[in-house]
Structures are given as structure tokens and as C-alpha cells.
Amino acid sequence: MNINNDGVNKYKAYINAISAAISAYPDVRVVAVVEPDSLANMVTNMSDNNCVVAKPAYEECTKYVLSTIKQCNVWLYLDAGHAGWLGWPANIDPAATMFANIYKSVPNNRVKGLATNVANYNALSAATPDKVVESNPNTDELKYITALAPKLASNGFPASFIVDQGRSGVQGIRDAWGNWCNIEGAGFGLRPGANTLSSYIDSIVWIKPGGECDGTSDTSAVRYDSTCGLADAKKPAPEAGQWFQAYFEDLLTYANPAL
């Protein structure tokens, strides 16, 4: 969304189309994750002027989603980053306040809770901390959720969670916790279902399609991100959003539990 090119209104039209499609099938249960990555940036990236400028538009558009997609057959989960992003002591309290304020800003919304680890690699529960977690006490998604949930509740948001484990089968494969692009050696993780280890968690899910590329490793590409050229990123990789067959095959090969 480019806010300088009528982006807010274009986004609202996009949401209106989704809402109309949901309304056309009232007997179909819809569970939707709202804007992966977007809101977390409002907690951690306010030193970037682009994020400062975009913040009002993000907030307006998120509230528009909650006020528009509120059919009885819908549950919404706001994206809450992951343990290595918002789980840090400096981030978790501001995150809880922000999510609760958004939740309370739209009466009678259909927000069930928060989604964590979308398209990321963290374990639900790690037997030993990953080498990259440094001083963060929330070394896996279960610890992050267990720490975050009471803070949300005290702010008036009785949230439950869903946790993406679609790329979390292998741990210890990143060179830094912030690395996110096509991490080499990843495998499908815990199967989707209600065996979640916590009363806070509604379900384990696989949100990002396994073979969908995060970004290209082609340094000459207009959309090249240097993260996709790091040593722990699988190469060669196509453009973001395109099918990455070799990566999908790796996810199958390294799946844990095995497929």
C-alpha cells in the first residue's frame, strides 16, 4: 500500500471485496490473520521516518478491517510478530498496550486473539535455546505467549493465540534471530491441530505456504533484499511470492515430525 498514491482508499476497497466474499458464504467458517508484520513495526521501527509517516495509515486501515470484517462466521487474529521480535523485555509491554488499544478501539469486533511466528522459524517449545536468542528470556513461542497473554488481559484484551509451525521443524539454522529469508535447512514443523501445550493457544497452524518464496537472491533484481543474500539463505531463490520448488522439497526432507 502506497499512502502517497491513495493507498488508504485502495486498501479499504480491497478489504470491502474480502468482506463481500465472506458474506456470500455465511456457512463457511473463516479464520484470518490480519496483516502479518505490519503492526509489529509500529512497536520497534519508529526510528525509521517511513514507519513514522505510515503509522496513522496502518492504524486507520487495521481499524477498518476490524469494523468491516465482523461477520458471525469470522474469527480474526492480529499478527503479533514472534518471540525474537516483540518478545524482548523492551518490546513486550509496548506491544501489549498497542494490541489491546487496537482491540478496544472497535466495539463488537471479531478478534479472537493474536497470531505468532507467521512465516518464521521459532519452535513452539524448544528443548534447548537456539544459539541466536542471546539475552531474550522468551526463547520460543510458548514462552513468548505465556509472557504476553497476561499483559494483554490486564490491558483489557483477553486474547488467545494461533502459532505458525510450518517452517519450525529444525532449530539452530539461523546465523542471527532477525534473519528471515528462505533460511536453508528449514523443515515443516508440528502438525496443525489443537495439541498446543497451553490453554492460551487455540491451535497450531501452517500459515505461509511451504513453497512460497520470501525474496529473490538475484542481486540485480529491483526487489532484491540483502537479507536474501545472507549465508543462511537458500540460493538461488526466485522473486518473493513465487513458487520455490527446491525450498518446498527441503521442507519435506527436513520435516520434524517426519512426513
Per-residue 3-state assignment (H helix, E strand, C coil) for the chain: CCHHHCHHHHHHHHHHHHHHHHHCCCCCCEEEEECCCHHHHHHHCCCCHHHHHHHHHHHHHHHHHHHHCCCCCEEEEEECCCHHHHCCHHHHHHHHHHHHHHHHHCCCCCEEEEEECCCCCCCCCCCCCCCCCCCCCCCCHHHHHHHHHHHHHHCCCCCEEEEECCCCCCCCCCCCCCCCCCECCCCCCCCCECCCCCCCEEEEECCCCCCECCCCCCCCCCCCCHHHHCCCECCCCCCCCCECHHHHHHHHHCCCCCC
- Is-cis flag, bond preceding 236, omega within 30? yes
When pLDDT is cut at 50, 70 and 90, the band that residue 134 belongs to is confident
Catalytic residue among 37, 93, 130, 202: 37
When pLDDT is cut at 50, 70 and 90, the band that residue 36 belongs to is confident
Annotation says 37 is catalytic: yes
pLDDT at 1: 57
- Residue pLDDT, tens place only, 104-123: 999 999 999 999 999 999 99
Mean pLDDT of 9-15: 96
Tell me: pLDDT of 2 over 90: no
256 closest CA partner among 170, 174, 166: 170
Tell me: pLDDT of 254 over 90: yes
Mean pLDDT of 64-80: 98
Mean pLDDT of 73-91: 97
When pLDDT is cut at 50, 70 and 90, the band that residue 253 belongs to is very high
Tell me: pLDDT of 4 over 90: no
pLDDT at 51: 87
Q: How far is CA 168 from the centre of its chain?
A: 13
Tell me: pLDDT of 162 over 90: yes
Residue of higher predicted confidence among 48 and 228? 228
- Residue pLDDT, tens place only, 163-219: 999 999 999 999 999 999 999 999 999 999 999 999 999 999 999 999 999 999 999
Catalytic residue among 79, 130, 202, 214: 214
CA 18, CA 29: separation in Å to the nearest integer? 14
Q: Domains along the chain? A: 31-47+74-253 (3.20.20.40)
pLDDT at 188: 98
pLDDT at 75: 98
CB 258 within 8 A of CB 169: no
Mean pLDDT of 5-12: 92
Annotation says 214 is catalytic: yes
CA 23, CA 17: separation in Å to the nearest integer? 10
pLDDT at 3: 78
This prediction has a pTM of 0.96
